[in-house]
Amino acid sequence: MADIAYRTADVDGLKVFYREAGAPDAPTLLLLHGFPSSSHMFRDLIPLLADRFHIVAPDLPGFGRSDMPARDDFDYTFEHLTDVIDGLTEVLGLDRFALYVFDYGAPVGFRIATRHPERISAIVTQNGNAYEEGLSENWSPVQAYWKDPSAANREAIRTLVQPETTVWQYEHGVPEVTRVSPDGYGLDNYYLARDGAHEIQLDLFLDYASNVALYPTFQEYFRTNRPPLLAMWGRNDPFFLPAGAEAFKRDIPDADVRLVDTGHFALETHADEIAAAIRDFLTS
C-alpha cells in the first residue's frame, strides 16, 4: 500500500487540504477533482500510481476538507478557485507537473495550463471537457440560468445539489451499479449538507459559463503547445459526451482518446484500467 499523507497548506490565509504520496523527486501528477466531490475520489487511483509518481491531490475551496468561506468573504468563481490552486502549486514548489483533470477540475487545470504552459508536462483528462460539442442536453437548465440568472432559474437547478442527484451521477451509465461504492456519494452528500454549501454550488453553476467562454482560449493553448494528452472518458457520462473527448484530436492530433464503458465517475469502476493507461502514457 502507498504511504499517503493528508496535509493542509496555507494559501493567502485559506486552508487547502491535499493528499500527497510518492517520492518528492519523482515526476509530479496534480489531481483535480470535480463536482460535488473532493480528493477522496482519487482514493483508489493514488495507490496505483504512487510508486512511480509524486501525487498531489487537493480539495478545491468550498469542497471536501479545504476551507469553505462564506459567500460574502470569498468570490466563488472558477477564476478564483484557480488562483487558490495555482497558489498551492507555488507554496508546494511544483514547477513542473502533469495534470489529471475531471469535471470542475478541468477548467481549473486548463486555466493553470494557459497561465503557465512551461510548467505542464502532460494532461490526462477524464471527462474533463473543453469543447461545446461535449456538453449534453442535461446542461440545458444550467444554460438557461446563464442566460437569465433569475431566482426562478436558480431554483430550477437546485435539484442538482440534492442527495438523490449525487447518487444518480455516480450510478448513471454504469453497467453494474453494485460496483459503485456508496462511500463516494455518501461523503459528497455529507459535504453538500453543510450550511451554505448549496448556495456556493449554485454560484459555481452560474459561473460555469465563464469556462465555456474560455473554451477557445483553452483550444488555442492545445494547438500552440501540443501537450501530450490522454483522454480517458466514461462513454455513458450524462453531462460530458464522448464527442468532447474526440474533439481534443482536432487541436492535438496525437491525443490518445479512449472510451470506457462506464459513467461520469469513471474511477469508481475503472481505476485499474485508468491507472494502467496513465502509467503507460506518462512513461512512454
What is the set of active-site residues?
Answer: 264
Give the CA angle between residues 164, 166, 170 to the nearest 5°.
Answer: 115
Helices 197-213 and 140-147, interaxial angle, to 10°? Answer: 80
Count of CB atoms situated within 10 Å of the CB of 5: 8
Q: Which residues contact 54 (CB under 8 A, 6 or more apart)?
A: 20, 21, 22, 23, 24, 25, 26, 27, 28, 29
φ, ψ of residue 124 in degrees (nearest 5): -110, 120
Query: Which cell is 9 given?
Result: 497548506
CA gap 232, 71 in Å, rounded? 34
Distance (Å, whole) CA 284 – CA 279: 8
**SS3 assignment, position 43:** coil
